[in-house]
């Protein structure tokens, strides 16, 4: 994944722990680079090694770390040049989620090595949607839970996310139920 993702993990580690913890995360992940370049595409193995090492060093599970990181990613991106992208003026949380593929299409024009997931929404009622998440990467459903919670904060909307159908249970892809409270 793009180095921007690794920089956001760095930011999370320094904010929830300290710089020494980040150095241990990098070393545990077997990575040598001093800094990650935002606009360089790194192998997914590098990203996953960082996530695993961060979970160990921060004393949590990979799933919990991914949830936390998803929430942090939204805040981080909105503070590092992507606020306008994440906050189309006047839009509701559900309207924004329904347009995530458009957001990724725009980003892909600028960053050709982006391999974005796809999100499809199904309206159930005014308060509830079913969110279909299709990714070439496995194991990142908890990341999406955090992303939706992060968007909820950004849009100042109380939201609950529930992983309803798991790809690892044999479904074609992960499906979430997203509810506005
Ligand atoms: F709900 O792959 C809210 O590298 C959401 O299944 C979901 O393939 C917000 F400059 C610039 C750059 C850089 C900007 F090139 C990324 F470096 C992207 C900024 C998205 C803001 C996807 C990151 C693919 C890297 C993927 C989960 C799970 C999408 C991560 C979250 C807003 C982003 O993001 C999966 C890659 C950006 C950039 C946003 C993503 C890659 C998301 C969201 N994705 C790089």
pLDDT given for residue 115 in this prediction:
98
Angstrom distance (rounded) from CA 91 to CA 97: 10
Q: How far is 112 from 166, CA to CA, in rounded Å?
A: 29
Q: Which of 51, 99, 109, 117 to mutate to test the pocket of ligand 1 (most atoms within 8 A of CB)?
A: 117
What pLDDT shows up at residue 35? 95
Give the closest residue (by CA) to ligand 1 atom 1: 147
Q: What is the rounded distance in angstroms from the CA atom of residue 27 to the CA atom of residue 9? A: 14
Cα 145 to middle of ligand 1, angstroms: 14
CA atoms within 13 A on the CB side of 53: 21
Distance 116 CA to ligand 1 centre (A): 7
Q: Which atom of ligand 1 is nearest to the CA of 115?
A: 8
Q: Which residues of the chain have pLDDT under 70?
A: 89
Alpha carbons 58 and 32: distance in angstroms, whole number? 20
Up-side HSE of residue 43: CA atoms within 13 Å toward CB? 4
Provide the residue count of the chain: 181
**What's residue 18's pLDDT?**
98
Q: What is the pLDDT of residue 88?
A: 74
């Amino acid at each position: 994944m793009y180095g921007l993702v690794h920089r956001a993990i760095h930011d999370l580690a320094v904010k929830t722990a300290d710089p020494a913890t980040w150095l241990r995360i990098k070393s545990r992940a077997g990575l040598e680079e001093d800094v990650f370049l935002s606009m360089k595409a790194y192998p997914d193995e590098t990203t996953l090694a960082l996530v695993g090492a961060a979970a160990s060093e921060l004393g949590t599970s990979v799933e919990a770390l991914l949830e936390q990181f998803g929430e942090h990613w939204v805040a981080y991106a909105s503070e590092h040049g992507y606020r306008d992208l994440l906050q189309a003026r006047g839009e509701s949380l559900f309207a924004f989620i329904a347009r995530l593929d458009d957001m990724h299409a725009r980003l892909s024009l600028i960053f050709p090595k982006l391999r974005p997931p796809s999100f499809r929404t199904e309206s159930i009622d005014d308060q509830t949607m079913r969110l279909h998440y299709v990714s070439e990467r496995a194991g990142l459903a908890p990341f999406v839970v955090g992303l939706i919670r992060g968007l909820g904060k950004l849009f100042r909307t109380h939201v609950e996310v529930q992983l309803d159908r798991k790809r690892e249970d044999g479904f074609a892809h992960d499906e979430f139920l997203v509810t506005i409270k």
